[in-house]
Structure 1
Amino acid sequence: MDQSVLDRLDTFIRKKGLRRTPQRDAIVRTAFASDEHFTSEELFDRSRKANAGVSRATVYRTISLLVEAGLLHEIDLGGDLKTYDPNFVEKPSHNHLVCIDCGKVLEFADSHLEVLNDCLTRRMGFRPVRQSIKIEACCEQLRKKGVCPNLITARVSGKRLPKRKRQGS
């Protein structure tokens, strides 16, 4: 985890008159331990392993603080759950490819998209601030081989899977 995240959060919570707690620190360390996206429930489960005293309410409040501080970004990866991305501090403009079969999420950046974004927004009288594109796609491994290791891993670990939309809906 990058120390600058902790420093920015520390400054932010002091301005709000709050203080650092072992529970909040455990949640923040867990949220930024990897680049993996998570729901509040997934973060709660992971944080409880790091600190058994972490409550669900503290997780929700900490997520709100992180979003308000600009350290965490809420993204729409489909489904009814809010998903959070810890990578927007380092990469404010990035995109997501979401497999609608297994739920795997890949991040990608492309300079061509950034140029296109810049040209389109300026032509329409705007100034680009950030971009985020979500592409939903079907897993090639599942289509070609009939088996997807990501789908098997997701099911075994109890990870939520995307709801597939029916063709023609």
Structure 2
Amino acid sequence: MTLWLLIRVTGFLAYFYFTWAVVAGLLRKSKVPQKRKNLLFHMHTNVGWYGLFTLIAHFLFVVADTYIDYSLLALLIPFTGDAMNVYLGLGIIASYLFVAVLCTSDVWLTKMNRTVWKWVHFMSLPAWLLALLHGLGIGTDTSRPLISLFYASSALLVIATLSYRMKKHATVVKVN
């Protein structure tokens, strides 16, 4: 397997896992039986960590690749690299947000107040959107029909789940 293929596969996998982590997290707070909430919680937590581990592999493969010779600085600081600067920067920001969400959820959860945790946790939605834009913009396979379908269906899934969640939490204000 070539390094270039490993970069693409780990990028897709990380995005796939983060998509399901977001969906499971949104569904967990909806009206589902407790048994399903426990399943959704474990899915949400586990696929989030799988996403982080594959994201780290994606990063390491990009560092090891010599075809586009990114400097370490360009891979760590958004918008400092030459090649595909904007989309690379969006991916870097998404990565930092996902790391923050996972660390505050499982590592530092007991050491922070709930309001801070909640605000950091909500960053998973912008992180997911930035990851989508990163993949669409920098991905060399985006023009392929199956890849386009993959991105479109994941976006529809997150939008539908978010809409469902927002509808369930909407309040009705009576105006006289």
TM range (shorter): under 0.3
RCO greater where, 1 or 2, for CA within 8 Å and sep 6 or more? 2
* Greater share of helix: 2
Q: TM-score, normalised by structure 2?
A: 0.24
